[in-house]
Amino acid sequence: MSSRIAFLKGHGTENDFVIVPDPENAIDLSPAAVATLCDRRAGIGGDGLLHVVRSAAHPEAREMAAQAEWFMDYRNGDGSIAEMCGNGVRVFARYLQRAGYVGEGDLAVATRAGVKSVHIAKAVSRSGSAAGAVTVGMGKAVLPDGPESDVTVSVGEHSWPARNVNMGNPHAVAFVDDLDQAGDLFTPPPFTPESAYPDGVNVEFVVDRGPRHVAMRVHERGAGETRSCGTGACAVAVATARRDGADPAATGTPATYVVDVPGGRLLITERADGEIEMTGPAVIVAEGEIDAQWLEERLQSA
């Protein structure tokens, strides 16, 4: 490991990430190292880490290298591996644009949930403002059948039915009267049946704001409450459409929802063929170098 490791800091609707460019997959990012870098007091701070690797250089992505040059090796803030992060894909694409690897237009990004199609709109500035929004093809939602199709989530003495939606990672979507009912969301809300989510779950609490317009809070598995969750917003739009009788596969008409998150606003469209598109901002706010000796000493003292 070199004495200095380049990093950037970015966010998508305030879901924030440490970005570590490593095209040849030469940096050993252990779970402990990721958790240290994402520590908001003793590290850089982030909900997660985006490890930027060429697909051909990563054993989990080599089979996707013919479709996508770059692999988003995403890690949760606690160091655990995650299948997918919707806000993270947008920020990942913004980094590739900033670094000169890609330009405006279409690109493909490999993830553990498959290859995702991304479109970078023309931006009026380097800030990643709404004019330069990034659209990600998020794939199709999977709604399990049988006893695990509906689950229950709880906060304190309150419990709500929730819709089980998989967006490449698991979600439980609960409709509530007030977002404050979700509590602090620092710890994972209990859920039943346990068999529905053997590896844990992202839990979204949702209220209506108007026609095709909802707001949400989320507990992200491995991160706690975050300011935004892209896959969660997609899961919320899918669950809301089913509740509203607006299933695009049944109606033949795309369903578009505005989803407000604490960190901003996302636009989610589910097409008649089931494919879901998410549009929102992606911003790079800083770049610098990590002192590798500091990181090694932190890990040895842990």
15 is in an annotated binding site: yes
Pairing of strands 70-76, 105-111: parallel
Measured CA to CA, the distance from residue 239 to residue 232 in angstroms comes to 10
164 is in an annotated binding site: no
pLDDT at 1: 52
183 is in an annotated binding site: no
104 is in an annotated binding site: no
- For residue 283, which of 149, 127, 68, 55 has the smallest C-alpha distance? 127
230 is in an annotated binding site: yes
Dig out the tokens for 17 from the structure: 């990430």
Measured CA to CA, the distance from residue 200 to residue 213 in angstroms comes to 28
Per-residue pLDDT in tens (0 to 9) along the chain, 302 residues: 568 999 999 999 999 999 999 999 999 999 999 999 999 999 999 999 999 999 999 999 999 999 999 999 999 999 999 889 999 999 999 999 999 999 999 999 999 999 999 999 986 555 444 447 999 999 999 998 877 788 999 999 999 999 999 998 999 999 999 999 999 998 999 999 999 999 999 999 999 999 999 999 999 998 899 999 999 999 999 999 999 999 999 999 999 999 999 999 999 999 999 999 999 999 999 999 999 999 999 999 87
Chain Cα centroid distance, residue 199: 17
Residue 180 phi/psi, 5-degree rounding, is: -65, -20
Looking at the DSSP assignment, which residues form a beta bridge with residue 287? Answer: 8
- Has 85 been annotated as catalytic? yes
pLDDT at 133: 92
pLDDT at 146: 77
This prediction's pTM:
0.90
Measured CA to CA, the distance from residue 100 to residue 275 in angstroms comes to 29
pLDDT at 195: 92
Of 85, 162, 167, 284, the active-site residue reads 85
25 is in an annotated binding site: no
For the chain, state the CA radius of gyration.
19
Give the contacts of 135 (CB within 8 A, at least 6 positions apart): 118, 119, 121, 277, 278, 279
> What DSSP character marks residue 169?
S
Of 214, 229, 241, 282, the active-site residue reads 229
Ordered by where they begin, the domains of the chain are 4-133+282-301 (3.10.310.10), 146-279 (3.10.310.10)
- Has 38 been annotated as catalytic? no
